[in-house]
Chain A
């Protein structure tokens, strides 16, 4: 049987992750004390949702929340993997007070 590739799941992953971020952060304002819980909660929720989608992959999810202010930020990823099977999704979300960037890497095993 042919192994499933991550690109087959990409659209689903994207919509689930956007939904999760919106659900958790949608109406919130950047808050220094609560932000560490939000990032941890978000990345855990997203991993749970991915496991339900497909258990043929290992997942690494990182979540960044950046307050809107006076600072520039750039992010790059480079991966060494099997390009037929593995893949990644990068989600950029924002509201009035903050940016949220989620990186999802799906590795077949």
Chain B
């Protein structure tokens, strides 16, 4: 029987939160470095997911938003197999920035 994404959702949440905390925890938003941070973070999270479960395809997107004078909203809609596939959305912040990570796990 095929495994569903929800069976390891909590694990994914925990590990991704830890990865973000370790990577960004003590940093301050820096215009020159942010691009490298988002790329590195999403790569690291995909590697972690592959190690956890290789029966899924993964799409991970990472947004870093400087704390300032601008509103932001984000929505996701998916067309998939609701019994097997799933997603996790992580919102993290420190004094200078927000980090939002979307993880989609698709069974194949």
Given A77-B42, A79-B58, check contact A59 B79 (CB 8 Å). yes
Cβ 8 A contact of B106, one of A66, A71, A107: A107
- Provide the bound-state CA to CA distance between A43 and B78, in Å: 8
Nearest residue (CB) in A for B37 is A74
Cβ 8 A contact of A80, one of B57, B67, B71: B57
Cβ 8 A contact of B65, one of A32, A73, A86, A107: A73
Q: Is the CB of B42 within 8 A of A76?
A: yes
* B59 part of interface (Cβ distance < 8 Å): yes
Q: Is the CB of A60 within 8 A of B87?
A: yes
Q: Is the CB of B59 within 8 A of A65?
A: no
We find that the number of chain B residues with CB closer than 8 angstroms to chain A is 45
* A75 part of interface (Cβ distance < 8 Å): yes
Q: Is the CB of B104 within 8 A of A86?
A: no
Proximity string of chain A (40-69) to chain B, C-beta cutoff 8 Å, 1 when within and 0 when not: 101110110011000000111111111111
For the complex formed, measure the closest distance between the CB of B42 and the CB atoms of chain A, giving whole angstroms. 4
User: For A39, what are the chain B residues with a Cβ–Cβ distance below 8 Å?
Assistant: 73-75
Proximity string of chain B (5-43) to chain A, C-beta cutoff 8 Å, 1 when within and 0 when not: 000000000000000000000000101001101110111
* A88 part of interface (Cβ distance < 8 Å): yes
Binding site for A on B (CB under 8 A): 29, 31, 34-35, 37-39, 41-43, 45-46, 49-50, 57-81, 85, 87, 102, 104, 106, 108
Binding site for B on A (CB under 8 A): 30, 32, 35-36, 38-40, 42-44, 46-47, 50-51, 58-82, 86, 88, 103, 105, 107-109
Between A and B, 19 residue pairs with Cβ closer than 8 Å are A36-B73, A40-B77, A43-B75, A50-B79, A60-B76, A62-B74, A65-B74, A66-B71, A75-B38, A75-B62, A75-B63, A76-B38, A77-B60, A80-B50, A80-B58, A81-B57, A81-B59, A86-B57, A105-B104
